[in-house]
Structure 1
């Protein structure tokens, strides 16, 4: 997601992925183009720099024992093939990109979930990003079987193909950056999700105020530990409607460099559709926010925010 909130990890992530976000007040994050830092530095003939020390006020990374398995998702699913959700992505106080999340028809027994992101003309002067990430999940458990990403940031083309082996607690990464291929096994504990599928898993989780959660998730060619809690129900006003929503807040830390962290905020509607209404995170350029502006679902009237393009005078 060449720009991924890890989540919403999420959804906004798709705009911060390649940048390795820096959250204000937290440790600075060096830009890593997609291969392990030591291998990257070795290729340049330079030693790898030491990892940044964790800030004194940084919360401890949950241990494997503390990271309990996620609860199973509730069935039937609140979404299905044909659902399309559109988002405006804001960065640096201005509209930066358009993001589209689609649920595609079943393929080889898996449910594909695709996220497309492209920066607009204004933001492309700062950072030009265009790409897509697709998670192939089980339609019954929403656990990922495969994650595929193809994105270009400025002039750098990156492809990542991740195969999940849950019995081995491993995600196998095949990465290609401008023709250079790299391969790696990424370990995880209990549950492993990915940046495209995570938000959909959260849509199907039973939620209640104060509920804690912890899981590992693939993103930016690394495995991250994500933990947080359900803050509670909040009223959310959007151009597409008024909603009561669950607010989920947490952090994501790279398992190989726990000092590298991101804050995460996601709002999911507390209704039968369980819509991901908004996501908030940070990249090196500042706060990034994704806001729902369009809803297309089979059998329902299309909903979209009013803009100059669709206003009728």
Structure 2
């Protein structure tokens, strides 16, 4: 499961949002970190997903994967991998994306595309490795990709009743994306009971989390803002990702 954040039009907030990425965050990410999720489809185990972030020689690398369970693979194999490399943002922070690569296999559906970000010139270079299509896209300052945007939200101070607005490049378009901070809620999982903050990204996306309805994410209500649960409607039924293991700050 790759979590993406594309699709909202709130141009009035653009300037305030893009500047905010350079301000000291309210929380610091624990790097390195690896999160492992069970994916269930309408209550049935459907696969496994991972999210990993690590520092490498002055850069930050984020990798998200999803793989279908054996019983699904026989008729609808899923093997997704999304990777983004960012400039180093300092301890517990992330910088701006340098490269983004999405490679998706879901049944007969395929995606293999790359983006090279040049923030200094305000240009992103897009390449579709399947069709051979190439193009250049003008990008505003502090533009994120869909994967890095999710981790950036985890560095912010989230107040119930407010919204966070992000500038994101997705599908060759620039989106001003709203993430609503809805409420606080106590939930139980295999790892225990958590006090959480529930957020709602207003978005569409490609890959296993291609949605047809609302998406909700439960983040721990502490300095980690650890995503312990995610749920969304898809083309048929719903998919829930629940944190079951990994290597992260306890």
Q: TM-score range by the shorter chain?
A: 0.7 to 0.9
Q: Which residue of 1 aligns with 2:208?
A: none
Task: Identify the match of residue 194 of structure 2 among 240, 243, 260.
Answer: 243
Residue 84 of structure 1 corresponds to 34
Note the C-alpha offset of 1:61: 5.0
Are 2:4 and 1:6 equivalent residues in the alignment? Answer: yes
Alpha carbons of 1:243 and 1:147: their partners in 2 closer, same or farther (altered >3 Å)? same
Normalised TM-score (structure 1): 0.66
1:266 is matched with 217
Partner of 1:64: 11
Asked whether the 8 Å contact 2:123–2:137 carries over to 1, the reply is yes
Distance 2:120 2:188 in 1: 42
CA distance change for structure 1 residues 167 and 63 in 2, over 3 Å: closer, same or farther? farther
Please state if 1:226 is matched with 2:224. no
Moved more, 223-232 or 198-207: 223-232
| 1:284 counterpart = 2:235 | yes
Deviates more, 1:111-120 or 1:192-201: 192-201
For 2:176 and 2:73, locate their aligned partners in 1 and report how far apart those are by CA, in whole Å.
31
SS in 1 for 2:230: strand
The answer to whether the Cα contact below 8 Å between 2:186 and 2:193 also exists between their aligned partners in 1 is: yes
TM-score by length of 2: 0.80
Q: Is it true that 1:103 corresponds to 2:53 in the alignment? A: yes
Match of 2:129?
Answer: 176
Q: 5+ residue gaps in structure 1?
A: 10-59, 255-259, 301-313
- Give the aligned length: 237
**Max Rg structure:** 1
User: Larger deviation: 122-131 or 202-211?
Assistant: 122-131
**C-alpha contact (below 8 Å) 1:111/1:138 kept by paired residues:** yes
| Alpha-carbon distance between aligned partners in 2 of 1:225 and 1:124, rounded to the nearest angstrom | 36
Q: CA RMSD in A?
A: 2.9
Structure 2 unaligned regions, length at least 5: 206-210
Residue 216 of structure 1: how far off its partner (Å): 3.2
Q: Structure 1 residues 289 and 169 mapped into 2: Cα distance closer, same or farther (>3 Å)?
A: farther
> Do 1:252 and 1:262's aligned partners in 2 also have CA atoms closer than 8 Å?
no
Residue-by-residue CA offset, 1:155-184 (whole Å, 9 max, x unaligned): 55532111223355543211112xx31112
Structure 1 position 122 matched with structure 2 position 75: no
Q: Judge conservation of contact 2:28–2:223 (CA < 8 Å) in 1.
A: no
Spell out, residue by residue over 1:237-265, the C-alpha distance to the aligned partner (whole angstroms, 9 max, x if none): 211122212111131258xxxxx975332
Match of 1:154 among 107, 112, 119: 107
- After superposition, the Cα gap between the structure-2 partners of 1:93 and 1:78, relative to the gap in structure 1 and judged at 3 Å, is same
Q: State the Cα distance separating 1:224 from its structure 2 match.
A: 4.2
**Displacement of 1:220 after TM fit?**
5.2
Q: Greater share of strand residues, 1 or 2?
A: 2
